[in-house]
Amino acid sequence: MPTISFRNLLYFRKNIIGITEGGNARDSAFNRYFDRTKVTKIRLSTNKVLSAFTFFYYLYISSYRVFFLHYPGIGISVSDRNWFTVLTRKIFKHYILHNEKNKFVIDVADLPVEQSIDLKLFHRDYFTEIEGILFKKAVVIIVSSLGIQKYLITKYPFLSRDKFLLCENGAPEFRKVSTFDCSALGFESDRIRYVYAGTLNPGRSVLQMIEVFPDDEKYELFLMGNEGDWLRSIVDKKNIRYLGNLPEDVAMEVVTRCDVGLIPYDQTKLYYNLAYPTKLAFYLSCGIPFLSTEVQEIINWKKNNNIGYTKNIDNWNKYIKMIDRENISEEKKKIIDIKSLVYWDTIIERTLKLLMERNY
């Protein structure tokens, strides 16, 4: 049987604009990596009509190729209810059902239906129209966590472990290129600085994180990310500061000057126990430990690496007051030895090497 190779791989490259966090951060990292290879790349427009035309054109004219698709962001719009998206979804579903010429490698960044339920977003049932069919046709499914792999095998009994490859979420390597002046943020003080970097919508336990953070001048919390304007009228603690949605290089520079990164995800929700947060890698790449709730993927990571702190969020106020600078310093020393392992380039290169060894 033939082996997947760069020669027969075809990558649909989305033009990602704006915040690159979560699934978008993953897609952007693959974009940057494939841009440096000889893989055939099909660049998709930000215009939905042009993107769909390009996408289907190459699907239908290609023979005996392996298409590399991200999921749920496959490169065409399938998550709206307007007539064009409905038509696009039907054409894609028809192609997947009747295609015999080409193969698919699917990189699963998120589970859109489960995510929308737990994050209280609009319910994306239309993904169920194509999800099962797409996974059944895939020769390889790349997942960001073992939790997602186990869940998909349970959800779709036709899937087996040998169809999967693990590619955990990563982060860029920090390089000081920003001209951002951090002096205004008061980093010369001796406060212990905590930081949350990521999407700030209420479904991510942001408000609870703010409420449990100590109202004590010994500690300071910086909030950065998109969808956080609502915080301007909510935050009433003098030691909590919302910095807005900063460019990635600036955000990384701010994080490197902090002491602990926060991951406040609701451990009672299914999705958060399946996902491997990009925040984890982001904080580690910046050289700081994390304080997380007891979600399963982070508990597993901590067991394997003995770095970071995990506590129920109800205990954060008390626990933050117990973490001193000496303890944080010890954690930062341990991160020096492993942080290169969370760089996107390291993770993707290892994954693609395994992918190229696969037969189909």
> Are residues 133 and 118 located together in one domain of the fold?
yes
Residue 207 and residue 150 share a domain: no
Same domain, 187 and 128: no
Report the distance separating Cα 139 and Cα 219, nearest Å: 50
pLDDT at residue 3, rounded to an integer: 61
Residue-wise pLDDT tens digits, 272-307:
999 899 999 999 999 999 999 999 999 999 999 999
Q: Is residue 2 part of a domain?
A: no
275 occurs within a structural domain: yes
The reported pLDDT for the residue numbered 1 is: 47
Split into its structural domains, the chain has a count of 2
Q: Quick one: pLDDT at residue 201?
A: 82
Decide if 60 is inside a domain: yes
User: How many angstroms separate the CA atoms of 70 and 14, rounded?
Assistant: 10
Same domain, 221 and 287: yes
Q: How far apart are CA 53 and CA 57, in angstroms?
A: 6
The rounded distance, in Å, linking the Cα atoms of 248 and 20 is 8
Evaluate whether residue 166 is within a structural domain: yes
Looking at the fold, whether 107 and 222 belong to one and the same domain comes out as no
Q: What are the φ/ψ torsions at residue 12 (nearest 5 degrees)?
A: -85, 115
Whether residue 159 is found in the same domain as residue 196: no
CB-neighbour burial class of residue 225 (10 A; exposed 0-12, middle 13-18, buried 19+) = buried
Residue 19: its pLDDT value, please?
A: 47
What CATH number has the domain bearing residue 328?
Answer: 3.40.50.2000
Separation CA 140–CA 359 (nearest Å): 10
Q: Which residues in the chain show pLDDT less than 50? A: 1, 18-19
Inter-residue contact 147 to 273 (CB < 8 Å): yes
Give the domain range for residue 266. 182-341
Domain identity same for 160 and 203: no
Pair type for strands 309-310 and 9-13: unpaired
What pLDDT does 177 receive?
65
Same domain, 243 and 256: yes
Residue 307 to residue 290: CA distance in whole angstroms: 8
**One domain, residues 196 and 207:** yes
Is there a domain that residue 139 lies in? yes
Residues 140 and 219 in one domain: no
Tokens of residue 151, six digits: 């869940």
Same domain, residue pair 166 and 194: no
| C-beta of residue 224 within 8 angstroms of C-beta of residue 243 | yes
- Are residues 352 and 303 part of one domain? no
Quote the pLDDT of residue 306: 94
Residue 176 lies in a domain: no
Give the whole-angstrom CA distance, residue 130 versus residue 149: 18
Q: Is residue 108 part of a domain?
A: yes
Domain-located, residue 192: yes
